[in-house]
Amino acid sequence: MISAVLILVLTYLLFVFYQKRTELRNFLNVRRICLEEFEKVPGPPAVPILGSTWYFKSDPVEMTRLAQSWFNEYTLSPNSNGLIKFWMGPVPVVSINRGEVAKIIFDSSTNITKSSQYDKLKEWIGDGLLISTGSKWKFRRKMLTQTFHFAVLKEYQKIFGAQGKVLVDVLKLRANNTYQFDIMPYIKRCTLDIICEDTKRLAFLDYLIKSQSEHPEILTDEGIREEVDTFMFEGHDTTSSGITFAIWFLGQHPEYQQRVQDELDEIFGDDFERQPNSEDIQKMIFLEQCIKETLRLTPPVPFISRKLEEDVLIPHTTKSPVLLPAGLNVMINIISIMKDARYFEKPYEFFPDHFTPERVNSREAFAFVPFSAGPRNCIGEKWRRVVS
C-alpha cells in the first residue's frame, strides 16, 4: 500500500516537473548567472534554503529600519553602483537604488513586465493597466492615455472643487477641538469620492464603453471592470497618502505653512467660496514645491518591480559591468533613489526649496521619480496634479 502511494506521489511530481520543465530550466539558468554575477554585488548575508529572508522582520517599522540600514551599508560607498542583492529563499533578486541605473530599466520598451509580487494585487484589481503586459497593456495604455488629456482633466476640476469643499466643511467641525485626530480617513473618503465620481462619469466609463464597441474582441466587459477597479485603486490610495503626508509635513513646519497660506491669500483674497481654476493652480508655485518634497520624502509607491524580459548590463566604476539576466526580478527603490545626496542637499529633511526652478533645472530628471518613468510611468500624474 505504502509503495503504491509513493509511486503515485513520484509519478505526480515527475508529471509536474515535466510540465514546468521550461520554467525550471529558465529559473536554474537565472540562478546560475546570478551566483556568478552576485560576486560583484553587495547585500545582506543569506542562509541555506531561506536565503536573506532569514533576517527579515515581521514588524513593518522594524523592517523599514533594517532596509534603511542595508541601504546605508551597501550603497553609500563611493564605488557602489547602487545595486543590492537578495536571496528570497533560492530565488535571486536585485534592488536598484540609483536613478541613473533605474533609468536603464525605465527607458526600456522591452523590460515592461511586472514581477510576481504583483500577483496578489491581480486577485484584487484584475489584470488591468497596472499589472498587464505585452500587447494587452500596449493597446489599453494607448486607449486610456486619451482619457487623461488636459482638456478632459479640466472637466474634472468641478468635481475636485466640490468634493474639496465637502472635506473642508467636515474638517471645520473638528477645527475647534484641542485633541489630536487621524486625518487620513477623511482624506481617503474625499479622494475615493472624487475617483468614484470621475470613473463612473462620462469621460472615463463612457469612453471605455465606446472603445468596446469599436474593439469588442479586445476590450470585454471583464476588461472594463479591470480598468475601473485599477483606476479606483491607483487613483485614491496614492493621492490620499500624498495629501495626508503633505498636511503632516506642513503641520511640522509652520514657517512653510505660512508661505503656503500667503500664496493662497494672494490668489483668492477674501473670497473663501471661489473654486480654484487652472490659472489659480498655475500660481500655486510654493504649494507645488511642498507637494513634490512630500512625494520625494514619503512616496506613496515606495518601490516597484519588474521581471526582466531581456538581459541588462549595469555599469560599475571599479569592476566589470554586472549582468542582470532575463527572468530576474528587479526591485526599483523609488524611495531611496529620491534620497540621493548628489541631487538633494538635505536628503532626509523636508526642504521644499529642493524644488526651486533653478535646482530642478540643474538636476537630472531621474533623481525625482515618484511616478516612475518611461513607457510604464504613472498615467494619472497630471490628474494627481489637479486633485492636489
In angstroms, the CA 53 to CA 87 distance is: 7
Nearer to ligand HEM, 295 or 328 (CB): 295
> In the bound complex, what is the minimum distance in angstroms from residue 304's beta carbon to ligand HEM?
4
Copy the grid coordinates of residue 302. Answer: 515606495
Stretch that binds ligand HEM, among 29-37, 162-170, 316-324, 367-375 (CB under 6 A): 367-375
- Name every residue whose Cβ is closer than 8 Å to that of residue 129 and which is 6 or more positions away in sequence: 137, 140, 141, 144, 227, 230, 231, 379
Nearest to 90 by CA among 13, 24, 39: 24
CA distances from 46 to 70, 89, 289, 293 (A): 13, 8, 42, 36
Nearer to ligand HEM, 52 or 230 (CB): 230
Nearer to ligand HEM, 203 or 295 (CB): 295
In angstroms, the CA 45 to CA 382 distance is: 42
> In the bound complex, what is the minimum distance in angstroms from residue 19's beta carbon to ligand HEM?
30
Binding string, 284-313, against ligand HEM, x = CB under 6 A? -----------x---xxx--x---------
Binding string, 86-105, against ligand HEM, x = CB under 6 A? --------------------
Binder of ligand HEM out of 40, 141, 316, 359 (CB under 6 A): 141
Copy the grid coordinates of residue 143. Answer: 486607449
Residues 355 and 289: beta-carbon distance below 8 Å: yes
Residue matched to cell numbers 507645488: 288
Under the binding rule (CB under 6 A), the answer on residue 371 touching ligand HEM is yes
Q: What's the maximum distance between 2 C-alpha atoms anywhere in the chain?
A: 88
Strand order of the β-sheet with 304-307 is 83-88, 91-96, 329-332, 304-307
Stretch that binds ligand HEM, among 22-30, 218-226, 228-236, 278-286 (CB under 6 A): 228-236
> In the bound complex, what is the minimum distance in angstroms from residue 214's beta carbon to ligand HEM?
20
Binding string, 229-248, against ligand HEM, x = CB under 6 A? -xx--xx--xx--x------
CB count within 10 Å of CB 113 equals: 16
> In the bound complex, what is the minimum distance in angstroms from residue 41's beta carbon to ligand HEM?
22
In angstroms, the CA 117 to CA 123 distance is: 12
Q: Is 190 annotated as a binding residue?
A: no
In angstroms, the CA 383 to CA 388 distance is: 9
Binding residues: 378
Binding residues for heme: 378
Q: Kindly list the residues in this chain that would bind ligand HEM in the complex (CB under 6 A).
A: 129-130, 141, 230-231, 234-235, 238-239, 242, 295, 299-301, 304, 370-372, 376, 378-380, 383-384
